């Protein structure tokens, strides 16, 4: 086996692009997600690079499935060098007084609890080997709250805080912990946020040369391949036309 990277939410967007980037560079890849057909399709694509691929089909919200899946990993796959806690979503964009409880639960359960469940299951494997690198995908939404962003922003603030405390907890185990905090990136993110409304999703990026999933994959690869004594703690990445959550410059 070569170096191993495990990516949650590899069936689309950042996760998929990250799997491609690392496979192209010789890493063995564990890809996870709920959509089995997407995993199968990506698995085929990745094996073109002559690397080993393991597909794990589970929902990060179900701790019993997370624990069972990680405990049942074949021994050679337990040597995970890099974990990318990427699975996540925004659901809805409403004022708090109009909020949809089911959307809130999905975001909290996926973005916070799912990230914790996976980290709790995988980090002991890294501690045992005294090496590892964990990436948490936060957001600029975790840096400043915006109107109607309420619960999504809160979940990404939690990722920001957890990243900092995880880094402290894992310091003595030689484990690097990096947050990547992207701004606007054109993936399936807005389609999911607007419950499949393509027009609303497209409008988010109108007049903006948004980030591409590959931009985030490149940043993760850069951080992961720095010398072992170097840890990038936090990387905020926006399109050039976006200063922060409030200021965009849209071309007509
Ligand atoms: P996509 O919707 O394109 O991809 C999301 C991925 O997460 C999919 O592979 C999906 O897989 C997976 N996922 C969602 N829920 C679960 C779950 N319960 N269990 C397992 N996997 C799950 O979005 P992005 O690539 O844009 O988003 C990736 C991360 O980046 C998210 O955490 C998002 O909050 C964050 N982010 C996105 C930004 C953007 O503008 N796009 C900006 C900043 C941060 P499946 O449905 O198959 O389970
Ligand atoms: C996604 C970026 O600004 O749409 O996390 O919330 S934003």
Tokens at residue 10, please?
Answer: 């590899």
Question: Using CA atoms, how far apart are residues 183 and 248, in angstroms rounded to an integer?
Answer: 11
Cβ–ligand 1 distance for 61 under 6 Å, the answer yes
Give the pLDDT confidence score for residue 134 in this predicted structure. Answer: 99
pLDDT digits (tens, 9 = 90+) for 214-224: 999 999 999 99
Q: What is the pLDDT of residues 108-157, one digit of tens each?
A: 999 999 999 999 999 999 999 999 999 999 999 999 999 999 999 999 99
Q: What is the pLDDT of residue 184?
A: 98
Q: What is the mean pLDDT of the chain?
A: 98
Please report the pLDDT score of residue 228 as a whole number: 97
What average pLDDT score do residues 232-237 get? 98
- Cβ 139 under 6 angstroms from ligand 2: yes
Mean pLDDT of 14-32: 98
Residue 64: Cβ-neighbour burial (10 angstroms; 0-12, 13-18, 19+): exposed
C-alpha closest to that of 137 among 237, 26, 63: 237
Convert the pLDDT of each residue in 181-234 to its tens digit. Answer: 999 999 999 999 999 999 999 999 999 999 999 999 999 999 999 999 999 999
pTM higher than the cut 0.75: yes
The pLDDT of residue 204: 97
Confidence of residue 94 (pLDDT cuts 50, 70, 90): very high
| pLDDT, position 27 | 98
Looking at 27, 49, 117, 152, which residue is catalytic? 152
What would the two tokens of residue 107 be? Answer: 């975001």
Domain ranges of the chain: 4-237
For this structure, is 222 an active site residue? no
Rounded to an integer, the average pLDDT of 3-20 is: 98
CATH class of 4-237: alpha beta
Q: How confident is the model at residue 26 (pLDDT cuts 50, 70, 90)?
A: very high
CA of 152 to the centre of ligand 2 (A): 8
For position 1, what pLDDT does the model report? 83
- For residue 59, the ligand 1 atom closest to its alpha carbon is 19
- 194 φ, ψ (degrees, to nearest 5): -95, 30
């Amino acid at each position: 086996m070569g170096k191993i990277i495990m990516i949650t939410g590899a069936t689309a967007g950042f996760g998929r692009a990250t799997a491609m980037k690392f496979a192209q560079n010789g890493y063995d890849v564990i890809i996870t997600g709920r959509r089995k057909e997407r995993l199968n399709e990506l698995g085929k694509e990745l094996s073109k690079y002559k690397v080993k691929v393991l597909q794990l089909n589970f929902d990060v919200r179900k701790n019993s499935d997370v624990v069972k899946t990680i405990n049942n990993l074949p021994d050679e796959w337990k040597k995970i060098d890099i974990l990318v806690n990427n699975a996540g979503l925004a659901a809805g964009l409403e004022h708090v007084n109009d909020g949809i409880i089911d959307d809130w639960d999905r975001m909290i359960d996926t973005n916070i609890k799912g990230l914790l469940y996976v980290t709790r299951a995988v980090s002991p494997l890294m501690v045992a080997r005294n090496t590892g690198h964990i990436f948490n995908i936060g957001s600029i939404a975790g840096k400043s709250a915006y109107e109607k962003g309420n619960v999504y922003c809160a979940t990404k603030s939690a990722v920001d805080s957890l990243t900092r405390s995880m880094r402290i907890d894992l310091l003595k185990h030689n484990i690097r912990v990096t947050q990547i905090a992207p701004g606007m990136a054109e993936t399936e993110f807005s389609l999911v946020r607007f419950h499949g409304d393509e027009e609303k999703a497209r409008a988010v990026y109108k007049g903006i040369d948004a980030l591409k999933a590959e931009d985030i994959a490149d940043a993760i690869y850069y951080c992961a391949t720095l010398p072992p004594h170097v840890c990038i703690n936090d990387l905020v990445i926006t399109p050039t036309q976006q200063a922060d959550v409030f200021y965009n410059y849209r071309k007509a």
